[in-house]
Amino acid sequence: MTNATIPAGYKQTEVGIIPEDWEVKSLGDVASFGGGTTPSRSQQEKYFANGVFLWVKTTDLNNSYIYETEEKVTQSAMSETCLTLHPSETILVAMYGGLNQIGRTGLLLSPATINQALSAVIPNDKLIVSHYALHYLNFKVDYWKSVASSSRKDPNITSNDIKSFPIILPSIKEQTAIAIVLSDVDALIASLNAQIAKKRDIKTATMQQLLTGKQRLAGFGEGKGMKSSELGEIPEDWEVVPLSELIRQLIAGVSVNSIDSDDYDEETSAILKTSAVYNGRFFPQESKKISATDIKRAKINPHANSIIVSRMNTPSLVGECGYVDKSYPFLFVPDRLWSIYLRSEKTNVKWLVLLLGYSKFHLAIKEIATGTSGSMKNIAKPAFLALSVFCPPSEEQAAIAGVLSAMDEDIAALEQRLAKTKAMKQGMMQELLTGRTRLVVGSTKPSPFDLYEQTKRENFVHSSRLEGIHMPMQKPETSLADVLAKYRAA
């Protein structure tokens, strides 16, 4: 690295180029540390029953704020063990549990105890802002892979590793400003997650009503009552039929040699993975390139307006299905998936995939799966086709599918917005936590949007972390705050 490549006002450090007025410190230089333990489980009644003190485990960590814990401990546990009540604003870091767990974080919003798998980082508030440190630790979570070690199966990190963690530090005012902005985006992400969860709950309740006939859509069932059937009460004008009356064929593909690849291309011959179907949805990108020597062996393509079912999978995923909206001439079905061919065009495909995913029939499909291995189950064709299901008239099938599909579209739109917001946050962290983009810090506590009023929009737009997000260049007087406001309202 030469001085010519270092922008004016910046300097080279062991962690890269940062602003001249920023510092690089070890976490141990700006915080104190604490630990915890697990009170004896053999004294559950004494140490855990009716506990009042929060007790944090790795599974309680959410890379965000900790309001509550799965378990609490009693005053006896506090008095008779080495548990310590760590103060609010303490940051917790997971040390054990393998590469998917180490480095997970949480920030205490109220005092709490922890178990021995966590390290408590108590920031010196004159040197570091706890909320800034939380965001920085989350941004650098991959760092732990380079330091993790273990003589056991799962890698882990130590408290000394955490103390040695290098962290970039702007002034306290700028740390605060950065933390406010990133926390604001976190709040937006949390709000989107809550909206998605609410809409999914509404869809589940609606499925329960419409797919069983407990509630009829306008124009259907007027003057009709209910009747008894082998599946319980159903509308008088509905039937109970085996799937064999709706499905003409279940065709599985063949197993072929394949090559793992992260690049999905609709014009490259690929074989679907069993993970290509889940919860009524089809994911064509869940596929692997077919080896050149085996391309001619592949034979069944996913076709438009059809259903694919996972006939062989783990106990939790066997029987999953997905709706295929269009034909994929270069994708092929493997031997562990079925492509469904219906007997009549009068059967609504979207209604059927919703029905197969409805809890009552979803569970029934899993129950007919057999296998001596606890890790893999298989569904036999005769058993699948013999399953009895509700069957309304075709016009009502289409109407039900229309209502529930509209709900799916709403959820998908929110999921896309969530993905875009998460990508936006990654770009913001890349800019703000490295000093590439500086925030204007006033004498009073600014709002997140005001903080961006004079930042360098072009740096943000060109951040490598924002790949895939369309942010067209605007007039120079347009601020980054305006851009963020646009995406908030989208």
**Nearest 5°: phi and psi at 217?**
-75, 155
CATH of 239-391, one of 3.30.200.20, 3.90.220.20, 1.10.10.10, 3.40.50.2300: 3.90.220.20
Position with higher pLDDT, 385 vs 446? 385
What pLDDT was estimated at residue 2? 52
Position with higher pLDDT, 441 vs 113? 113
| CA distance linking residue 157 with residue 94, whole number of Å | 8
What pLDDT was estimated at residue 1? 47
What pLDDT was estimated at residue 452? 41
What average pLDDT does range 76-92 have in this prediction? 97
What pLDDT was estimated at residue 204? 93
pLDDT band at 488 (very low <50, low <70, confident <90, very high): very low
Q: Which pair of structure tokens corresponds to residue 272? A: 């679907």
Please, what is the Cα angle at 98 between 95 and 104, to 5 degrees? 50
What pLDDT was estimated at residue 151? 54
What pLDDT was estimated at residue 374? 79
| CA distance linking residue 208 with residue 198, whole number of Å | 15
Structural contact between residues 235 and 226, judged by C-beta atoms closer than 8 angstroms: yes
Lowest-pLDDT range of 71-75, 291-295, 445-449 = 445-449
CATH of 26-169, one of 1.10.10.10, 3.90.220.20, 3.90.226.10, 3.60.15.10: 3.90.220.20
Residues with Cβ within 8 Å of 417's Cβ and at least 6 positions away in sequence, in order, are 192, 490
What pLDDT was estimated at residue 203? 95
Residue 181 has pLDDT above 70, yes or no: yes
Lowest-pLDDT range of 130-134, 194-198, 200-204, 458-462 = 458-462
DSSP state for residue 86 in the 8-state scheme: B
What average pLDDT does range 176-193 have in this prediction? 93
Structural contact between residues 238 and 392, judged by C-beta atoms closer than 8 angstroms: yes
Extended strands (E) in 47-116: 53-56, 64-66, 71-73, 91-94, 105-108, 113-114
Classify domain 171-222+394-490 at the CATH topology level.
Helix Hairpins (1.10.287)
Structural contact between residues 252 and 336, judged by C-beta atoms closer than 8 angstroms: yes
Extended strands (E) in 139-295: 166-169, 226-227, 234-235, 239-242, 247-252, 258-259, 270-272, 277-278, 280-282, 287-290
pLDDT, tens digit (0-9, with 9 covering 90-100), for 122-172:
999 999 999 999 999 999 999 998 888 765 567 899 999 999 999 999 999
Position with higher pLDDT, 279 vs 459? 279
This prediction's pTM: 0.78
What pLDDT was estimated at residue 442? 61
> Cα dihedral sign for 448, 454, 458, 463?
negative
Dihedral, 126, 132, 138, 141 alpha carbons, nearest 10? -40
**Nearest 5°: phi and psi at 166?**
-80, 130
DSSP state for residue 304 in the 8-state scheme: S
pLDDT band at 484 (very low <50, low <70, confident <90, very high): very low
Question: What three-state secondary structure class fits 115?
Answer: coil
Please name the helix (run of DSSP H) or strand (run of DSSP E) that holds residue 341, with its range, or none.
strand 337-342
Which residue from 374, 263, 269, 277 is spatially nearest to 323, judged by alpha carbons? 277
Q: How many CA atoms lie within 13 A of 415 on its CB side?
A: 9
| CA distance linking residue 2 with residue 452, whole number of Å | 31
- Bridge-based pairing of strands 280-282 and 277-278 is antiparallel
Residue 304 has pLDDT above 80, yes or no: yes
Residue 313 has pLDDT above 50, yes or no: yes
Residue 189 has pLDDT above 50, yes or no: yes
Residue 262 has pLDDT above 80, yes or no: no
Where do the structural domains in the chain lie, given as residue ranges? 26-169, 171-222+394-490, 239-391
What average pLDDT does range 198-225 have in this prediction? 94
Structural contact between residues 303 and 272, judged by C-beta atoms closer than 8 angstroms: no
DSSP state for residue 221 in the 8-state scheme: S
Residue 486 has pLDDT above 60, yes or no: no
Domains 171-222+394-490 and 239-391 belong to one CATH topology: no
Tell me how far apart the 2 most distant CA atoms of the chain are, in Å.
84
DSSP state for residue 6 in the 8-state scheme: S
Q: What is the CA radius of gyration of the chain?
A: 28
